[in-house]
Amino acid sequence: MDFSDLIQTVLIYALPVLFAITVHEAAHGYAARHFGDNTAHMLGRITLNPLKHIDPIGTILMPVMLYFATSGAFLFGYAKPVPVRFDHLRNPKRDMIWVSLAGPASNFFQAIFWAVLLVVLVGTGVQERFFVEMARAGILVNLVMWAFNLFPLPPLDGGRILVGLLPWRIGQQVARIEPFGFFIVLALVLFGIVGSLWLRPLMSLGYSAIDLLLTPLLALLR
């Protein structure tokens, strides 16, 4: 990929990625406030300002380095997690599930939004490649974040959902993995286990669900 193609790719993905990260983290904070924890609200993290959620290393440096190191074959990154005091929630075990689910759910709804935009652009004859590719990137980025964050291992959202669903004693044992969970997940990603056994099947399901949801709109624009 030459430099001009790289710049175009960055511009196509920039807006979808910023929205995907920002809305995901803000959704966690909003859900936490709804269920009784004002920590994120007091720290100004319930906001659509991406600067509040970007981690210089995890959101910028790591993905860029991995992109060049692997020629775009492998990307990984993270944002600054929204602080949530689960012990401040009105019903910590139950509400933990909803707070954790809020982030991935926001990404799935954003994927639907970008899919609607893509259908409308194509259906109305818009041929501008930049906007069409941005809409496709928005679907892809958000489905990746939705599926990846649902992986059932703390500190990912799916791991916290699992802790909330399990009986208390077993859930506490799973929660003890959290300090090492990031490194375990990273190793599973590097060995292709997360991609082949989790991301691809779940994303395929996500694409199928979106296709089904957009069937009436597709019929209308034909």
Q: Which are the catalytic amino acids?
A: 25
Q: Which helix (H) or strand (E) holds 136?
A: helix 129-149
For residue 161, which of 101, 120, 112, 87 has the smallest C-alpha distance?
A: 101
Please state, in angstroms and rounded to a whole number, the distance separating the CA atoms of residues 89 and 37. 5
What is the three-class DSSP state of 213? helix
Burial class (CB in 10 A: 0-12, 13-18, 19+), 1: exposed
Please state, in angstroms and rounded to a whole number, the distance separating the CA atoms of residues 101 and 218. 29
